[in-house]
Amino acid sequence: MVGRGVATILFTDQVGSTRLRELIGDDGADKIGREHDRIVADAVTSAGGRIVKNLGDGALVVFDSSVDAITAAQRILEGVNVYNRDISEAHRLKLRIGINAGELVTGEDGDVSGLPVAVASRVCEIAGASQIIVTGVVRSLVGRRAKFGFQPLGPYQLKGVVEPVELWAVGAVVVAETQPAETVIPFPEFLRRGVPRLLVGREKQAAAIEAAYGAATDGVRFAVVIGEPGIGKTALVSTWCREAVERGATIVGGRCTPDAALPYQPFIEIARAVLGARPGLIADLGPASGNIAQLVPGVVTQVTLPPPVQADPDTTRYLMAEAFARLLRADAAGLPVVVVLDDLHWADEHSLGVVAHLARYADDLALLLIGTYRDTDLVRNHPLPQLLTDLRRERRLVRIPVPRLTESEVGELIAARFGAEAPEAVVDSISEETQGNPFF
Ligand SMILES: Nc1ncnc2c1ncn2[C@@H]1O[C@H](COP(=O)(O)OP(=O)(O)O)[C@@H](O)[C@H]1O
Ligand SMILES: [Mg+2]
């Protein structure tokens, strides 16, 4: 169609093509270029578009429909993935795609021009390998016709374009032939090991956790189990969790350790368990899904993801926290998800940031956070007390102190351990020596 008309414009671009040419020479690079042209031609033919021109290391394609354009983009990336499967890292085709829509001019020769074409080209330059970025116009045109899983990237100032342009990344493309099956999220190993043969006492504390769990259907609740080392914090929480899981609760958890080498330590443990069971969830985690996948190597292998976000530290932390929050969105049965964070006095700052972020979802997430910590072991200026104070003010925090065992409970514990009732004098002296701390 010669003249003016509205269309959707798609650019592909080979990431690092100049460098590739240097590395593997012209013949190799040309061969990859031909593969690119073939993959694009196949996808565009099946989705219904017109290739305006091949650009050496990319292509310019126009579509009547924005849905068709995104469908083609996804098929292109699927084709790239299939091609890359048997190709060594250095020779892989890495492609980015940008899509815009607007009024353009089509010449006698079929070439197109106009500002929307230039914007599409700029948008493509912003995308990372395997990423599809579209403008707000395209997003609006798609509307509710198709579920592509758009993730907001915010307004961008594009080179040579005066007004900022709203950009969206299109969700991950699942390339596995069959979607991996969902399995049950495994009960956390540290909780399995934490369950004592018989939990003595602690009825009141268990009831407090139970009440918080019930209340969590209406929004985030945080139960903090507090006490000295060895008093039975992990034993209490483990026992409650094991009973809850038998009633159908979803339990995830992670530990904090004094020598944490990685930020987000407990949440990485959680992500591994959740994604291991439900790999498809990775597509719902937003712009930082690539970062999360990177943190759990080997767990998510069958999807193409946006490249890890490398924004300023605050933005990255926000997007990471958001990704973890999305990971914990209610379980299928609509019951609150239980997130156990053991030994929070050792939590890294990033993990506490995630906790604070989760708390911000107060009313939207059915989530019970259970944290344990030693109030005796908090270093000065640890951010945990402030966080707890904030949550307490919002009446979403339940403090559950774990006191020393009473003398009769010590007796019960000894009986449970040694299978016989101990003479009173023995209980007395043990009780005195251990000060009711079951660890001893
Ligand atoms: N109420 C209890 N009944 C029976 N055993 C307990 C009880 N509390 C703690 N224990 C046992 O004492 C030890 C220390 O408890 P743990 O839960 O690890 O303490 P914490 O997490 O507070 O440091 C564990 O072996 C645990 O099984
Ligand atoms: Mg413990």
| CATH number where 11 lies | 3.30.70.1230
Q: 167 with 195, same domain?
A: no
Give me the number of domains the chain comprises: 2
Q: 227 with 292, same domain?
A: yes
pLDDT band at residue 175 using 50, 70 and 90 as cut-offs: very low
Lowest average pLDDT, out of 86-100, 170-184, 278-292, 425-439, goes to 170-184
Distance 203 CA to ligand 1 centre (A): 14
Burial of 143 (0-12, 13-18, 19+ CB in 10 A): exposed
pLDDT band at residue 150 using 50, 70 and 90 as cut-offs: confident
Residue closest by Cα to atom 8 of ligand 1: 232
| Mean pLDDT, residues 182-210 | 90
Pocket test for ligand 1, best of 225, 234, 408 (most atoms within 8 A of CB): 234
**Residue 433 belongs to some domain of the structure:** no
**Residue 440 belongs to some domain of the structure:** no
Position in ligand 1 atom list of the atom nearest CA 235: 17
- Between 426 and 385, the more confident residue is 385
Q: What is the pLDDT of residue 173?
A: 45
Note the ligand closest to the C-alpha atom of 233. Answer: 1
Q: 198 with 156, same domain?
A: no
Q: Which long-range contacts (CB under 8 A, 24 or more apart) does 25-30 make?
A: 28/91
Position in ligand 1 atom list of the atom nearest CA 196: 27
From the list 336, 194, 328, 193, the residue with the least C-alpha distance to 273 is 328
Residue closest by Cα to atom 25 of ligand 1: 439
| Mean pLDDT, residues 79-84 | 90
Residues found in the chain: 440
**Residue 411 belongs to some domain of the structure:** no
Query: 65: how many CB neighbours lie within 10 A of its CB?
Result: 19
Alpha helices in 247-288 (DSSP H): 265-277
pLDDT band at residue 331 using 50, 70 and 90 as cut-offs: low
Q: 113 with 166, same domain?
A: yes
Pocket test for ligand 1, best of 197, 205, 231 (most atoms within 8 A of CB): 231
**Which two structure tokens, joined as six digits, stand for 341?**
């964070």
**Which two structure tokens, joined as six digits, stand for 69?**
């354009």
**Residue 333 belongs to some domain of the structure:** yes
Distance 258 CA to ligand 1 centre (A): 20
- Quick one: CA dihedral 387, 391, 392, 397, positive or negative? negative
Distance 206 CA to ligand 2 centre (A): 16
Cβ < 6 A, ligand 1 pocket: 194, 196, 199-202, 227, 229-235, 413, 438-439
Determine the structural domain holding residue 25 and report its residue range: 3-171
pLDDT band at residue 186 using 50, 70 and 90 as cut-offs: confident
Distance 428 CA to ligand 1 centre (A): 19
282 DSSP 8-state letter:
G
Distance 269 CA to ligand 1 centre (A): 23
- Do the beta carbons of residue 106 and residue 145 sit within 8 Å? no
Q: 146 with 114, same domain?
A: yes
CATH number at residue 201: 3.40.50.300
From the list 64, 66, 12, the residue with the least C-alpha distance to 39 is 12
Q: What is the pLDDT of residue 152?
A: 81
Distance 376 CA to ligand 1 centre (A): 17
Q: 145 with 193, same domain?
A: no
**Which two structure tokens, joined as six digits, stand for 305?**
């993801």
Distance 194 CA to ligand 2 centre (A): 8
Model confidence pLDDT, tens digit, residues 92-125: 899 999 999 999 999 999 999 999 999 999 999 8
Query: 335: how many CB neighbours lie within 10 A of its CB?
Result: 18
Q: Is 167 helix (H, G, I), strand (E, B) or coil?
A: strand
Average pLDDT over the chain, rounded to an integer:
86
Neighbours of ion ligand 2 (CB under 5 A): 234
**Last residue in a domain, options 116, 144, 171:** 171
Q: What is the pLDDT of residue 380?
A: 72
**Residue 229 belongs to some domain of the structure:** yes
Note the ligand closest to the C-alpha atom of 227. Answer: 1
**Residue 250 belongs to some domain of the structure:** yes
| Mean pLDDT, residues 72-89 | 89
Per DSSP (E only), the strands in 50-123 are 50-54, 58-63, 95-106, 112-113
Position in ligand 1 atom list of the atom nearest CA 228: 22
**Last residue in a domain, options 138, 171, 204:** 171
Q: 135 with 244, same domain?
A: no
Q: How many Cα atoms are found within 13 Å in the side-chain-facing hemisphere of 310?
A: 6
In whole angstroms, give the CA distance from residue 362 to residue 369. Answer: 12
Q: What is the pLDDT of residue 124?
A: 93
**Residue 222 belongs to some domain of the structure:** yes
In whole angstroms, give the CA distance from residue 14 to residue 94. Answer: 6
Q: 195 with 163, same domain?
A: no
48 pLDDT more than 60 = yes
Q: Do strands 132-135 and 95-106 pair parallel, antiparallel, or not at all (unpaired)?
A: parallel
Q: 267 with 293, same domain?
A: yes
**Residue 12 belongs to some domain of the structure:** yes
Q: Over the range 196-233, which residues count as b (16 or more CB within 10 Å of their CB) and which as e?
A: beebbbbeebbebbeebbebbeebbbbbbbbbbeebbb
Residues ≥6 apart with Cβ < 8 Å to 262: 268, 295, 348
Residue 169 pairs in a beta bridge with 133, 151
